[in-house]
A and B are shown apart, each in its own frame.
Chain A
């Protein structure tokens, strides 16, 4: 076959980058939703993605349900896991510090990983792409159809979330909790319920990420930690708590990783991503889109 042109290579790296970046972005958004309401960094966020992928495998490959139904049930199941996690581990801790609760989320992530290992074993799993497996060629670069699904669904999630936070009462109430939980409680917002919703919503977003990436990357029980790390990097880079910051930083991280693997060296890919994160924090400690004032008040 003929060698690929520079432009073709660039196109390829770009598409690969925004695909992986979309997943980082969704994980980062999940981090932010919980952080905004509770100031907790939920380290089980990566496990939601892993569960999303593996439960999707169960519904499509084992239960043989049609794709849309399987997708819906997967999101529902993981949302349930998120809600249960909040009710049984976060909610009972009445006077715990934020740090204690963060450690609890680490415990939950280990627990979920262990359960997944028991249920699914250590082998990776795969599901077929949502539509056709023939790639589309643009300028010599091959774009998998699943990539388009990932981009489309990520966009839909971002639009729906913006709508939720800007237009609905619950969304506004959650933003209010983020700004000042005490004041929110005074005006009659049930902070308790808002925390529950934040965990459920984060879990749902994680599930979506897991379900759409599994046809591209396979999924196994211990994939969550690395995704959580990259997603956390993205959310810090974008400014913890900033919704659009997380999306932009996530995609940026993915593209930079991909360009680095392509043009510099694939061995330094992860290092470059983390170096970039350090650089951003050095120049702008509150992140690319973070609010400097707000970041001074928060505990983390």
Chain B
């Protein structure tokens, strides 16, 4: 009786441990990643491609066997382009869903609203929004990273190109919104550092119907080039007015906000010869074959277009960069918030859609001006600037 009883016990324990071992091998705990995007509301043009991109990557990673055998589970919340809802979503991800790391939000304002929470809860957050304020000062942004390029990079790229062409006197124009004001600040700040003189500093409203007066004023100066910083209808209007006024002998540079084929179409031929700095993800066919980014950019463009039947956007590229950066960290250090943070902070040569990232304790963006390529509108499409 005694021996029999012991045998049953041993048998039981063995069976249970065997079942446990096998079930572990089959179903490892999934790796959770939290995501907050502005899928609806005024910034839906950012959030929608971001969500689609994330879902596509999640599917691809899981089809390929997950991360070290762990399934990837991305929990996406929509903040409806609203700061309050964004804060709630981030809190919910941290408290209820217990995610070790968060990607997004899509908007700079929304990101700045949640920076404090992520820092206090010690959850690494990789933002898809552009403002430089998100990652500076870096001492107060220990847990915060961002993947989009800054205005500073775009300005540096444009100034580099101007100097290469021997242009030192420029006129700048900007729209009176956050985007325009921040670009104007960088243009004014960096010009004296590189030896460029700004001979005119013109502004206009986001709903202005005509920018001829500002351009005429520029015609009265010695400007050798015009740099315009705006998004929306005014950036098309500026190009149209520039052409109508017959000012094409003064080259026209747009900010990276001009990087949509829709703008070329709206300008109806007027954009021919206009320069702008663009992320390489927008111009897959123009990226050189030996470029380290070529492979990932082609892959992303092809699979996205095949799956969703629409071209990729810059913004989807930001989601690609943030999620893959996080996947890379999870693969190396597992779902531990502190380790993920340290890993990303020290990650070098991460090849993404918008550049090759080199993070460091003093730089939580990891990009340089080389993340941009200078392009020019030629035959109604982008071409590399000569």
Report whether B203 and A4 are in contact in the complex, using a CB–CB cutoff of 8 Å: no
User: A280 → chain B, closest Cβ, in Å?
Assistant: 22
A9 adjacent to chain B (CB < 8 Å): yes
Report whether B176 and A267 are in contact in the complex, using a CB–CB cutoff of 8 Å: yes
Complex CA distance for A92 and B288, rounded to whole angstroms: 67
Report whether A270 and B205 are in contact in the complex, using a CB–CB cutoff of 8 Å: yes
Residues of B within 8 A of A220 (CB): 233
B245 adjacent to chain A (CB < 8 Å): yes
Report whether B213 and A126 are in contact in the complex, using a CB–CB cutoff of 8 Å: no
Report whether B246 and A266 are in contact in the complex, using a CB–CB cutoff of 8 Å: no
A114 adjacent to chain B (CB < 8 Å): no
Residues of B within 8 A of A217 (CB): 208-210, 233, 237
Report whether B222 and A3 are in contact in the complex, using a CB–CB cutoff of 8 Å: yes
8 residue pairs from A and B, CB less than 8 Å apart: A1-B247, A20-B209, A135-B245, A142-B245, A144-B244, A217-B208, A266-B213, A269-B205
Report whether B237 and A4 are in contact in the complex, using a CB–CB cutoff of 8 Å: no
Report whether A4 and B220 are in contact in the complex, using a CB–CB cutoff of 8 Å: yes
Complex CA distance for A121 and B8, rounded to whole angstroms: 71
Assess A137 versus B246: contact at CB under 8 Å? Given A13-B216, A267-B203.
yes
Report whether B176 and A262 are in contact in the complex, using a CB–CB cutoff of 8 Å: no
Contact of A9 among B220, B244, B249, B250 (CB under 8 A): B220
Contact of A124 among B217, B266, B268 (CB under 8 A): B266
Contact of B216 among A141, A216, A222, A225 (CB under 8 A): A141
A23 adjacent to chain B (CB < 8 Å): yes
| Chain A interface size, under 10 / 10 to 19 / 20 to 34 / 35 or more | 35 or more
B202 adjacent to chain A (CB < 8 Å): yes
Residues of A within 8 A of B130 (CB): none
User: A29 → chain B, closest Cβ, in Å?
Assistant: 18
Report whether A223 and B268 are in contact in the complex, using a CB–CB cutoff of 8 Å: no
B212 adjacent to chain A (CB < 8 Å): yes
Residues of B within 8 A of A270 (CB): 205
B165 adjacent to chain A (CB < 8 Å): no
Residues of B within 8 A of A141 (CB): 216
Report whether A258 and B213 are in contact in the complex, using a CB–CB cutoff of 8 Å: yes
B164 adjacent to chain A (CB < 8 Å): no
A277 adjacent to chain B (CB < 8 Å): no
In the A-B complex, list the 5 residue pairs whose CB atoms are closest, starting with the nearest: A217-B209, A261-B213, A124-B233, A4-B219, A12-B216
Report whether B216 and A9 are in contact in the complex, using a CB–CB cutoff of 8 Å: yes
Report whether A23 and B204 are in contact in the complex, using a CB–CB cutoff of 8 Å: no
Complex CA distance for A133 and B270, rounded to whole angstroms: 10
Report whether A142 and B246 are in contact in the complex, using a CB–CB cutoff of 8 Å: yes
Report whether A266 and B221 are in contact in the complex, using a CB–CB cutoff of 8 Å: no
User: B193 → chain A, closest Cβ, in Å?
Assistant: 24
Nearest B residue to A135 via CB reads B244
Residues of A within 8 A of B209 (CB): 20, 23, 213, 216-217, 227
Report whether A226 and B207 are in contact in the complex, using a CB–CB cutoff of 8 Å: yes
User: B274 → chain A, closest Cβ, in Å?
Assistant: 16
A38 adjacent to chain B (CB < 8 Å): no
User: A80 → chain B, closest Cβ, in Å?
Assistant: 26
Report whether A142 and B250 are in contact in the complex, using a CB–CB cutoff of 8 Å: no
B214 adjacent to chain A (CB < 8 Å): yes
Nearest A residue to B45 via CB reads A122
Nearest B residue to A222 via CB reads B207
Residues of A within 8 A of B212 (CB): 12, 16, 142, 258
Which residues of A are interface residues toward B (Cβ below 8 A)? 1, 3-4, 6, 9, 12-13, 16-17, 19-20, 23, 122-126, 128, 133, 135, 137, 141-142, 144, 213, 216-218, 220, 222-223, 225-227, 258-259, 261-263, 265-267, 269-270
Nearest A residue to B218 via CB reads A4
B4 adjacent to chain A (CB < 8 Å): no
Complex CA distance for A142 and B210, rounded to whole angstroms: 13
B35 adjacent to chain A (CB < 8 Å): no
User: A134 → chain B, closest Cβ, in Å?
Assistant: 9
Nearest B residue to A214 via CB reads B209
| CB within 8 Å of A: which B220-255 residues | 220-222, 232-233, 236-237, 244-247, 249-250
Residues of A within 8 A of B232 (CB): 124
**B203, B236, B245, B247, most chain A CB atoms within 10 A:** B245
Residues of A within 8 A of B262 (CB): 123
Contact of A19 among B202, B205, B210 (CB under 8 A): B210
Residues of A within 8 A of B216 (CB): 4, 9, 12-13, 16, 141, 262
Given contacts A3-B220, A135-B245, A223-B207, 13 further A-B contacts (CB under 8 A): A12-B212, A12-B213, A12-B245, A23-B209, A124-B236, A126-B266, A137-B246, A142-B245, A213-B209, A216-B210, A218-B233, A261-B213, A269-B204
Residues of B within 8 A of A258 (CB): 210, 212-213
Give 1 or 0 for each of B240-282: 1 = CB within 8 Å of chain A CB: 0000111101100000000000100010100000000000000
Residues of B within 8 A of A213 (CB): 209
Residues of B within 8 A of A23 (CB): 209
User: A52 → chain B, closest Cβ, in Å?
Assistant: 14
Nearest A residue to B245 via CB reads A142
Residues of A within 8 A of B247 (CB): 1
Residues of A within 8 A of B244 (CB): 133, 135, 142, 144
Nearest B residue to A220 via CB reads B233
Residues of B within 8 A of A227 (CB): 209
Residues of A within 8 A of B246 (CB): 1, 135, 137, 142
Report whether B250 and A126 are in contact in the complex, using a CB–CB cutoff of 8 Å: no
Complex CA distance for A263 and B221, rounded to whole angstroms: 13
Residues of A within 8 A of B213 (CB): 12-13, 16-17, 258-259, 261-262, 266
User: B101 → chain A, closest Cβ, in Å?
Assistant: 32
Nearest B residue to A2 via CB reads B219
Assess A266 versus B214: contact at CB under 8 Å? Given A1-B250, A218-B237.
yes
User: A196 → chain B, closest Cβ, in Å?
Assistant: 31
Complex CA distance for A141 and B216, rounded to whole angstroms: 8
Residues of A within 8 A of B250 (CB): 1
Residues of A within 8 A of B222 (CB): 3
Complex CA distance for A135 and B212, rounded to whole angstroms: 13
**A19, A137, A217, most chain B CB atoms within 10 A:** A217
Complex CA distance for A88 and B262, rounded to whole angstroms: 38
